[in-house]
Structure 1
Amino acid sequence: MRLLEGSDLPPPEFVDFEDADKKKIQLPNPSYDAWITRDQQVVSYILNSLSEDMLSHVYGMVHAAEIWSAIHELFSSQSKSRVSNIRGALINTKKLDMTTQQYITKMKGFASELATAEKTVDDDELKDYIMNGLNGSYNGFVATLTVVPSTSLSDMCSQLLSYEKL
């Protein structure tokens, strides 16, 4: 991992030595050769596991850290877009003709997807998203929950399922 993260830096390619005449000469550094061997093994593993489409994004890169960084950057920008789309879905999803169970499952699914992208939605925020997606026939339910804001997400979902049956 240190090679991928860039924290395992290469040692100098050459080292200074003094010959018998006390003349300074540079010789290849065996530590550098060992580092290059490890780095290129990782590069080979990465390149062999990438699709052809992905290979074009890392073409010409030599070291594991730069390849890994390029891949991370590519997926990071896609993740930012995905997070934005999921947040939009949380805001804009309405219950409409879904059953309450379908609606709750869908909204919790969005929250789970965000958590996977390390953008957690806390329970109170998810409760608000769920309540905002309910139509006018749920005004009484929403008013009751607004009076008791300490209701847990689990309790709110149970109450919402019961309310639907009325």
Structure 2
Amino acid sequence: MGYLDCTIVCPTPTITPTDSTIAAPNPAYDEWIRKDQRVISWMISFLSPDVLPYVVGSISAADVSKALQTAFGSLSYTSILQLHMQLQNTSKGDKFVLTYLREVKYISDQLAAANRPLENEELNAIVFRNLGSDFSDIVTVLATKPDPITFPELHRLLLNRELRMKSATVPIEANVTAYTPL
């Protein structure tokens, strides 16, 4: 982290020994450059091809971090408000629970990346309100829990509920043979 937030400061490229007037290469500078380049390589390895153009030309890990923060981390109030409205208006409708929750999580993650994370209670309330009447029984049960459930738990429970609902509506085909009494 010190390379990203500049708390590990880059040493000067040369040093002048006290008993000389001639500058010599600074081994600490070379070591700092090596470590900084490793951090840059590590960061870039996690970036998608769509994001890479934002960091082209960065010469230090701090530059990469600053470029990413400028491009993606500095959402305006209007952008944050838009994300909140988008989240409020995202509903399950005819979608599968998995698709609906993926959309909710994506928007929630964008808010968290903008340093505006939602509490579990807030996110649960939005999800519960926008699920639809098919899930009213599980929403009632989950809403009465003393502590809010986490998103992964909510995800698992809603997927299980959807699977149970689908299996209950699939007709069971039985291989019926004629019964003849003896």
TM tier, smaller? 0.5 to 0.7
More helix by share: 1
Of the structure 1 ranges 79-88 and 8-17, higher mean CA displacement relative to structure 2 is found in: 79-88
Is 1:85 matched up with 2:82? Answer: yes
Q: Which residue of structure 2 lines up, in the alignment, with residue 41 of structure 1?
A: 38
Identity, in percent, stands at 27
One-letter amino acid of the counterpart of residue 120, structure 1: L
Is 1:120 matched up with 2:118? Answer: yes
* CA distance in structure 2 between the partners assigned to 1:113 and 1:124 by the alignment: 13
Q: What's the CA shift for 1:88?
A: 0.8
Distance 1:83 1:36, change over 3 A: same
Q: How does 1:1-166 map to 2 (within 5 A)?
A: 1-19=1-19, 23-77=20-74, 83-89=80-86, 91-92=88-89, 110=104, 113-114=107-108, 117-118=111-112, 119-121=117-119, 123=121, 154-155=143-144
Work out the number of aligned pairs and report it: 133
Distance 1:113 1:79, change over 3 A: farther
* CA distance in structure 1 between the partners assigned to 2:60 and 2:22 by the alignment: 28
Consecutive unaligned residues in structure 1, runs of 5 or more: 132-152, 156-166
* CA distance in structure 1 between the partners assigned to 2:90 and 2:33 by the alignment: 52
Bigger RCO of structures 1 and 2 (CA < 8 A, at least 6 apart):
1
The TM-score normalised by the length of structure 1 is 0.53
* CA distance in structure 1 between the partners assigned to 2:16 and 2:41 by the alignment: 31
| 8 A Cα contact 2:14 2:23, kept in partner | yes
* CA distance in structure 1 between the partners assigned to 2:64 and 2:122 by the alignment: 40
SS of equivalent to 2:23: strand
| 8 A Cα contact 2:37 2:60, kept in partner | yes
The TM-score normalised by the length of structure 2 is 0.49
Q: Which residue of structure 2 lines up, in the alignment, with residue 144 of structure 1?
A: none
Consecutive unaligned residues in structure 2, runs of 5 or more: 130-141, 145-182
Per-residue CA deviation, residues 102-129 of structure 1 (Å, 9 max, x unaligned), is 8xxx79x859953773432574897699
SS of equivalent to 1:32: helix
